Structure 1
Amino acid sequence: MAKRTLMIFSAGVCVGIMIYYVLHTFLMPTFVFKIIKPMVDGQELLCALRKNVPFSTITREQASKDGNATILPEESLEKLVHFNSCAVVSSSHGLRLHTYGKEIDSHDAVLRFNCAPTQGFEQFVGNRTDFRLINTQIPRRSCQKEFWSENSTMFKHETIVVRNMDAIGLEGEKVNTKTDRFHVFANLVKYGKKYPERDLPFIQRPDFGNDIMRELARFCITTGMCYKAIMSPSSGMFGVVMMLHLCDWVHVYEIVPSNKDETKLLYYYDEKEMWSKKDWHSYIQERVYFRTLSLTTEKDIEDTGVVLLKGFSQTQCH
Structure 2
Amino acid sequence: MKPWRKFLMLALMAWLLLFLCLLSYYLDKGPVGQMVRSVGALARNEVRRLASFQAGGKGPLVGTGSTLEAGEEEEETEEAKEMRRKEQQLLVLGLWQGRASSRLLSPRLQQARLHYLNSNKHQVTWRPAEGRPGGQRSSQELLCELQRRASLRTLDGSQQPFAGMGWSGVVPGEPLGPMAPGSEIETCAVVMSAGAMLNSSLGAEIDSHDAVLRFNAAPTEGYEKDVGNKTTIRIMNSQILARPMFHFNSSSLYRDGTLVWYEDPDFDFFTPYVDRRRKRPDQPFYILHPAFLWGLWDVIQSNSEETIQPNPPSSGFIGIAVMLALCRQVHVYEYIPSSRQTDLCHYFEPHINAACTLGAYHPLLYEKLLVQRMSASTTPDDLHQGSRVTLPGFSTVDCGGGGIAAPSATP
Same fold (TM over 0.5): yes
What corresponds to 1:251 in structure 2?
331
2:397 is aligned with 1:315:
yes
Q: In the TM superposition, what is the alpha-carbon distance from 1:162 to its structure 2 partner?
A: 0.9
> Secondary structure at the residue paired with 1:85?
strand
Shift of 1:306: 0.7
1:124-179 CA distance string (max 9 Å, x none): 1111101000112222247522x121xx3211112111114xx3xxxxxxxxxxxx
- Which aligned pairs between 1:18-97 and structure 2 lie closer than 5 A? 30=94, 33-34=98-99, 40-60=137-157, 64-80=163-179, 82-97=184-199
Which residue of 343, 349, 352 corresponds with 1:274?
352
Residue 294 (structure 2) aligned to one of 197, 210, 214: 210
Separation of aligned partners in 2, 1:309 and 1:207: 23
Preserved CA contact (<8 Å) 1:227 1:285: no
Query: In structure 2, how many angstroms separate the alpha carbons of the residues matched to 1:124 and 1:53?
Result: 32
SS at match of 1:202: strand
Is 1:184 paired with 2:269?
Answer: yes
Note if contact 1:132-1:159 (Cα within 8 Å) is conserved in structure 2.
Answer: yes
| AA aligned opposite 1:138 | I
Cα distance change on mapping 1:192 and 1:219 into 2, 3 Å: same
Q: Alignment partner for residue 214 of structure 2, among 98, 104, 112?
A: 112
Which residue of 231, 236, 259 maps to 1:160?
A: 259
- Conservation of the 8 A alpha-carbon contact between 2:134 and 2:302: no
Larger helix fraction of residues: 2
Q: For the structure 1 residues 297 and 265, does the alpha-carbon distance in structure 2 shift closer, same or farther, using more than 3 Å as the test?
A: same
Across the two proteins, how many residue pairs are aligned to each other?
A: 269
1:230 positional shift: 2.8
Unaligned residue ranges in structure 2 (runs of 5+): 1-89, 101-132, 401-411
| CA contact 1:89–1:125 (8 Å) conserved in 2 | yes
Q: Distance in 2 between matches of 1:158 and 1:201?
A: 9
Contact 1:59 1:75 in 2 (8 A): no
Greater mean alpha carbon deviation, residues 294-303 or residues 125-134? 294-303
CA-CA distance at 1:67 after TM superposition: 2.5
Q: Structure 1 residue 65: deviation in Å?
A: 4.0
Counterpart pick for 1:303 among 381, 385, 394: 385
Q: Distance in 2 between matches of 1:37 and 1:67?
A: 42
Aligned to 1:128: 230
Contact 2:261-2:286 within 8 A present in 1 as well: yes
- The match for 1:228 among 304, 308, 314 is 308
Pair 1:213–1:77, CA change in 2 (3 A): same
Secondary structure in structure 1 of the residue aligned to 2:193: coil
Q: Distance in 2 between matches of 1:302 and 1:143?
A: 36
Superposed CA RMSD: 2.8
Question: TM-score if structure 2 supplies the norm length?
Answer: 0.60
Gaps of 5+ in 1: 1-25, 168-179
Look up the SS of the partner of 1:139 in the other structure: helix
Q: Which has the higher contact order (CA 8 A, sep 6+)?
A: 2
- Cα distance in 2 for partners of 1:129, 1:58 equals 23
Contact 1:251 1:307 in 2 (8 A): yes
